[in-house]
């Protein structure tokens, strides 16, 4: 059997236990970091939830940079993606706190502020991820044509 022109084999996948450990470690670090940001940026009564906005937007930017960086690597350790994407950035960002912040703002009768908060989070979050990809491609030498192909859907 000839191997001429054959595609090189993909790196061996990490055992599930190792992946779970990588995700757990990354999640612990990301969650602890998010908690520290919430201590540094406490929300004032009746004010915008700045800590949640900061972690979600910085997480979107970091995900874009990470994907661009991963695209430039021929191979990485099989635990890098689950540690960094699902674990670290999954623990760093927080959809549940966003929802609770919006609910609290609505309950306080500040519907306009709640709508602004959701709009800012979505628009700036997408913008931050796109900016992260663009910056990462510039810094690391990737290209936009393969954006998102490095992180599998089941890892997010």
Q: Residues 59-89: pLDDT tens digits?
A: 999 999 999 998 888 888 999 999 999 999 9
Tell me how far apart the alpha carbons of residues 119 and 125 are, in angstroms, rounded to a whole number: 9
Residue 121 domain-assigned (yes or no): yes
The alpha helices in the chain, defined as continuous H runs, are 16-40, 50-71, 80-81, 90-92, 95-107, 111-140
Residue 109 domain-assigned (yes or no): yes
Report whether pLDDT(2) > 70.
no
The boundaries of the domain holding residue 146 are 16-155
Residue 113 domain-assigned (yes or no): yes
Residue 77 domain-assigned (yes or no): yes
pLDDT of residue 156: 47
Residue 6 domain-assigned (yes or no): no
Report whether pLDDT(48) > 60.
yes
In the predicted model, what is the mean pLDDT of residues 17-33? 96
The total of structural domains in the chain comes to 1
Provide the whole-model pTM.
Answer: 0.77
């Amino acid at each position: 059997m000839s191997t001429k022109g054959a595609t090189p084999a993909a790196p061996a996948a990490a055992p599930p236990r190792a992946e779970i450990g990588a995700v757990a470690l990354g999640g612990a670090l990301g969650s602890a970091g998010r908690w520290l940001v919430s201590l540094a940026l406490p929300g004032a009564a009746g004010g915008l939830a700045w800590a949640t906005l900061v972690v979600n937007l910085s997480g979107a930017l970091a995900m874009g940079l990470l994907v661009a960086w991963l695209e430039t690597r021929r191979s990485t350790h099989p635990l890098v993606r689950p540690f960094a994407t699902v674990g670290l950035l999954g623990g760093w960002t927080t959809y549940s706190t966003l929802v609770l912040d919006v609910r609290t703002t609505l309950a306080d009768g500040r519907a306009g502020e709640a709508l602004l908060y959701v709009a800012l989070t979505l628009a700036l979050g997408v913008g931050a991820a796109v900016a992260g990809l663009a910056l990462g491609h510039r810094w690391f030498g990737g290209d936009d044509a393969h954006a998102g192909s490095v992180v599998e859907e089941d890892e997010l």
